[in-house]
């Protein structure tokens, strides 16, 4: 279902599209590795990867039912059957799973099973309204309000998806970092990885909550440098880098993007190509 990267997503744009393929959850040949890592995290630090308000149990069950009906059922161990429903659901797919619930302060993170965050921490975001969750992201009040309206208007029969990307020094799936870590300058070169997030939103018809899913894939820059569509992808990356504001560069950890720009020049001329 999920093909090798052929286009670079546009960060800082909402860019929602209707889900048109079979189920919209993130399942490919990498599933066993993701599930193996999730199980290890459940065994060693469950409280770091799972949080839920007590009143979300029914919504968690609704999310689990949705996912189980959409993908081939995995075989869960007896002790895993005793997990909270959202944690069980996370063992059927590669995605991380979040339940957003509406309240007096807008949509808030009411439950989550997040094993593979991209530079954020579930404990910091749990229970917080969406505007606080997105506080580190450089966006204006109009964009915040538009996102709330999208959540309000979402219908169960029309789930949607978008993609996002970041750059990291290694291909570890789990990248939990506090919000303050984004202020630190990160440097990138040909050994870095492009981290893509496939995100979906679907309204749960009974609870009215929203299931937000995040499927992470890593693409080493060295692979992009020898990709059949290398020129296309490098051109997209260069155009986005040139178009980022100072605040957007800082959010991406690219306050000083000179090393990435140099790598782009080398890769474009063939000097930056390395074998996978």
What pTM does this model have? 0.89
Please tell me the predicted confidence (pLDDT) of residue 138. Answer: 84
Q: Quick one: what percent of the chain has pLDDT higher than 70?
A: 89
pLDDT at 188: 66
Q: What share of the chain is helix, strand, coil (3-state, %, to 5)?
A: 40, 20, 40
The rounded distance, in Å, linking the Cα atoms of 251 and 245 is 10
Report the range of poorest mean pLDDT among 5-9, 37-41, 205-209: 5-9
Higher pLDDT, 215 or 165: 215
SS3 22: coil
Mean per-residue pLDDT over the chain, rounded: 86
65-69, 140-144, 225-229: which has the minimum mean pLDDT?
A: 225-229
What is the reported pLDDT for 270? 67
Q: What is the pLDDT, as a whole number, of residue 272?
A: 45
pLDDT (mean) for 2-24: 71
In this prediction, residue 184 carries a pLDDT of: 56
d(CA 176, CA 49): 10
The beta-carbon contacts of 266-273 under 8 Å, at least 24 apart in sequence, are: 266/190, 267/190, 267/221, 267/224, 267/225, 267/230, 267/234, 268/231, 268/234, 268/238, 272/190, 272/225, 273/222, 273/225, 273/226
Which residues have a Cβ under 8 Å from the Cβ of 73 and sit 6 or more positions away? Answer: 92
Cβ atoms of 63 and 201 within 8 Å: the answer is no
């Amino acid at each position: 279902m999920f093909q090798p990267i052929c286009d670079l997503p546009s960060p800082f744009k909402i860019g929602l599209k209707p889900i048109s393929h079979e189920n919209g959850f993130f399942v490919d040949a990498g599933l066993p590795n993701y599930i193996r890592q999730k199980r290890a995290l459940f065994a060693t630090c469950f409280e770091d990867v799972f949080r839920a308000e007590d009143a979300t149990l029914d919504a968690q069950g609704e999310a689990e039912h949705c996912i189980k009906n959409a993908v081939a059922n995995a075989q869960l161990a007896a002790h895993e059957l005793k997990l909270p429903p959202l944690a069980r659901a996370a063992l059927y797919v590669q995605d991380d799973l979040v339940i957003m619930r509406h309240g007096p302060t807008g949509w808030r993170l009411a439950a989550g099973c997040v094993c593979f965050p991209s530079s954020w921490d579930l404990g910091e975001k749990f229970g917080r309204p969406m505007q606080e969750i997105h506080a580190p992201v450089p966006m204006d009040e109009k964009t915040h309000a538009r996102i709330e309206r999208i959540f309000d208007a979402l219908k169960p029969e029309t789930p949607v998806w978008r993609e996002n990307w970041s750059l990291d020094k290694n291909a570890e799936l789990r990248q939990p970092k506090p919000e303050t870590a984004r202020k630190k300058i990160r440097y990138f070169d040909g050994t870095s990885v492009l981290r893509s997030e496939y995100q979906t939103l679907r309204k749960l018809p009974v609870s009215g909550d929203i299931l937000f899913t995040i499927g992470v894939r890593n693409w080493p820059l060295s692979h992009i440098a020898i990709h059949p569509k290398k020129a296309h992808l490098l051109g997209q990356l260069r155009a986005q880098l040139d178009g980022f504001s100072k605040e957007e560069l800082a959010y991406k950890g690219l306050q000083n993007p000179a090393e990435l720009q140099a790598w782009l020049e080398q890769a474009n001329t063939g000097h930056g190509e390395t074998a996978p």
